[in-house]
């Protein structure tokens, strides 16, 4: 396993900048995610790390050694592709052993290493089968074994679960996490699936239009996004627009539906008078009765219920605020319906759950 350092990596295709001045530090043994919407540059960045593309600018270092111009076969990376890329005319065993043959590993050692790799992905009973006799999840396990068997310094996974059904995706998330923890190998995983990233990653980089929007662990990125793009892309959130009236804690934001306060440190560069948006996650909003004010309250939003969806263990509400803004909330203790469609409703949220962000351009 190795650490990776990306220094100002830029890659263009004609007039399109696919990766724009990306710098990252990935530590040894980390399960690191590149997360973002389609076309954000995450797969291009993965292919730059693999050596399939060369950057126009910048450097790529493995354990401090510059590999920017090192060809792919000399970087000792294992690649797991979205479409598995297994040889249909070879058995599972032969597919896994293929990379070892190219490296001229002695046949006795090949046998031991292939057996261990198949055991690790729980496919040791399928060595004689052909890939077309396997399910999608089994084929993905074989592709992972093929990447691991060469004992790579880093494993690169390009949306490896996107072709699987929902149940298999959940199963393979656990398997990849288990294998990572068992081997301690540095892994870089590309996905557009926020739940995959939140449930599996040690750390992640959220990408937007070729650049890194935010880097951090899943909890910090979800709870403390640095931009409206990150807040909206990672999970679900509500935006209430307003004007920052105080940049001292607690922050104050004047909105069309009242003043909102926040005890979360704001993004850099915000000053009183700036147009901002307040990001509040659905699970951070709670319901109280319209007549329950009983005096001055903080962070109160009044509106009318548009729709409710009862799901047993929780109930989802869609509410139109007095200024027309739509917000969603989740009631995790739906012992009774708080209010039905068309009914007035009062919402509250703690200042610690309100994140003040610059208004999108």
pTM metric for this prediction: 0.90
Class of domain 236-358: mainly beta
Least confident of 131-145, 231-245, 300-314, 335-349: 335-349
The answer to whether the bond into 250 is cis (omega within 30° of 0) is: yes
pLDDT for 296 equals 60
In the predicted structure, residue 184 carries a pLDDT above the cut 70: yes
End-to-end Cα spacing for the chain:
41
Contact 209, 41 (CB under 8 A): yes
How many beta carbons lie within 10 A of that of residue 177, not counting itself?
16
Can you tell me the mean pLDDT for 75-91? Answer: 91
List helix spans (H) across the chain.
Answer: 42-50, 92-102, 107-120, 136-149, 166-183, 194-200, 218-223, 228-233
Question: What is the distance between the alpha carbons of residues 195 and 245, in angstroms, rounded to a whole number?
Answer: 35
| pLDDT score of 171 more than 60 | yes
Q: What is the mean predicted confidence (pLDDT) over 323-341? A: 85
What is residue 297's three-state secondary structure? coil
* Residue 361, pLDDT score: 67
Domain positions in the chain are 4-223, 236-358
Contact present, 33 and 17 (Cβ < 8 Å): no
Decide: 3 and 26 in contact? Cβ < 8 Å. yes
Cα–Cα dist 181/73, whole Å = 25
Q: Using CA atoms, how far apart are residues 176 and 199, in angstroms rounded to an integer?
A: 11
What CA–CA distance (Å, rounded) separates 106 from 103? 9
Q: What's the full length of the chain, in residues? A: 361
Residues 18, 44: Cα–Cα separation, whole Å:
7
Q: For residue 84, what pLDDT band results from cuts at 50, 70 and 90?
A: confident
Q: Which pLDDT score, from 0 to 100, does residue 27 have?
A: 97
Homologous superfamily of domain range 4-223: P-loop containing nucleotide triphosphate hydrolases (3.40.50.300)
- 163: confidence class by pLDDT, cuts 50, 70, 90: confident
């Amino acid at each position: 396993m190795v650490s990776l350092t990306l220094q100002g990596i830029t890659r263009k295709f004609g007039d399109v900048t696919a990766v724009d001045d990306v710098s990252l530090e990935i530590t040894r043994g980390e399960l690191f995610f590149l997360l973002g919407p389609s076309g954000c540059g995450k797969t291009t960045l993965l292919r730059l790390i693999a050596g399939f593309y060369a950057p126009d600018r910048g450097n790529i270092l493995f354990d401090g050694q510059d590999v920017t111009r090192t060809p792919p076969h000399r970087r000792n990376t294992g690649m797991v592709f979205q479409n598995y890329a297994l040889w249909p005319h070879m058995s599972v065993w032969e597919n896994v052993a293929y990379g070892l043959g190219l490296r001229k590993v002695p046949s006795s050692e090949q046998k031991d290493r292939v057996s261990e790799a198949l055991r690790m992905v729980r496919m040791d009973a399928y060595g004689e089968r052909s890939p077309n006799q396997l399910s999608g999840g089994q084929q993905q396990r074989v592709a992972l074994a093929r990447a691991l068997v060469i004992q790579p310094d880093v494993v690169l996974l390009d949306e490896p679960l996107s072709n699987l059904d929902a149940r298999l995706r959940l199963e393979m998330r656990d398997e990849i996490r288990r294998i990572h923890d068992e081997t301690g190998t540095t892994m870089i995983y590309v996905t557009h699936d926020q739940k995959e990233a939140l449930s599996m990653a040690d750390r992640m980089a959220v990408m937007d239009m070729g650049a890194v929007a935010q880097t951090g662990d899943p909890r910090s990125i979800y709870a403390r996004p640095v931009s409206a793009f990150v807040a909206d892309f990672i999970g679900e959130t509500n935006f209430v627009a307003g004007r920052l009236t105080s940049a001292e804690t607690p922050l104050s934001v004047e909105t069309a539906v009242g003043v909102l306060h926040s005890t979360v440190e704001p993004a850099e560069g915000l000053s009183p008078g700036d147009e901002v948006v307040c990001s509040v996650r659905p699970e951070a909003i709670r319901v109280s009765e319209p007549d329950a004010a009983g005096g001055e309250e903080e962070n109160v939003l009044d509106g009318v219920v548009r729709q409710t969806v009862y799901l047993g263990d929780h109930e989802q509400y869609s509410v139109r605020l007095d200024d027309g803004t739509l917000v969603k909330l989740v009631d995790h203790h739906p012992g009774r319906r708080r209010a039905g469609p068309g009914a007035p409703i009062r919402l509250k949220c703690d200042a610690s759950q309100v994140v003040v962000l610059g208004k999108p351009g």
